Amino acid sequence: MATLEVPCRYCSQTKSVRKHGTGANKAQRYCCLNCRKSFQLDYTYNAYHPGVKEQIVDMVMNNAGLRDTARVLKVGFNTVLRTLKNSNRGK
Ligand SMILES: [Zn+2]
């Protein structure tokens, strides 16, 4: 049996990651026993990928429009608004 070492998305530990059921579209979800967070390796929606939220804040801070950002990153307009509202730099 092949073992797949999955690093945790949040704390990057490999030993504490266990399988945790399946998400939408039957994608395998993983749970980290160290930081008690769950995640997937592959998401259908672009905004759930790691780093996209930071990219939204960066683009808007560099004078890209809100709708431009949503179009380029292929995320919803309300996702852009919510990300800025929840980030400290969007105030
Ligand atoms: Zn973890």
Q: How many distinct structural domains can be found in the chain?
A: 2
Ligand 1: distance of its center to the CA of 64 in Å? 33
Instruction: Clarify whether residues 23 and 54 are in a common domain.
Output: no
- Residue 38 pairs in a beta bridge with 31
Instruction: Clarify whether residues 30 and 55 are in a common domain.
Output: no
Instruction: Clarify whether residues 39 and 65 are in a common domain.
Output: no
Q: What is the pLDDT of residue 2?
A: 65
pLDDT tens profile 28-44: 999 999 999 999 998 98
- Residue 29 pairs in a beta bridge with 40
Instruction: Clarify whether residues 35 and 52 are in a common domain.
Output: no
Instruction: Clarify whether residues 72 and 84 are in a common domain.
Output: yes
Ligand 1: distance of its center to the CA of 38 in Å? 8
Q: Which amino acid is at 23?
A: G
Instruction: Clarify whether residues 28 and 56 are in a common domain.
Output: no
Ligand 1: distance of its center to the CA of 6 in Å? 10
Instruction: Clarify whether residues 39 and 1 are in a common domain.
Output: yes
Please list the alpha-helical segments (H only) found in 1-91: 52-61, 66-73, 77-86
Instruction: Clarify whether residues 39 and 50 are in a common domain.
Output: no
Instruction: Clarify whether residues 1 and 23 are in a common domain.
Output: yes
Range of the domain at 86: 46-90
pLDDT tens profile 10-67: 998 889 999 999 988 899 999 999 999 999 998 988 889 999 999 999 999 999 999 9
Ligand 1: distance of its center to the CA of 13 in Å? 6
C-alpha distances (whole Å) from 18 to each of 4, 10, 12, 75 are 11, 14, 13, 29
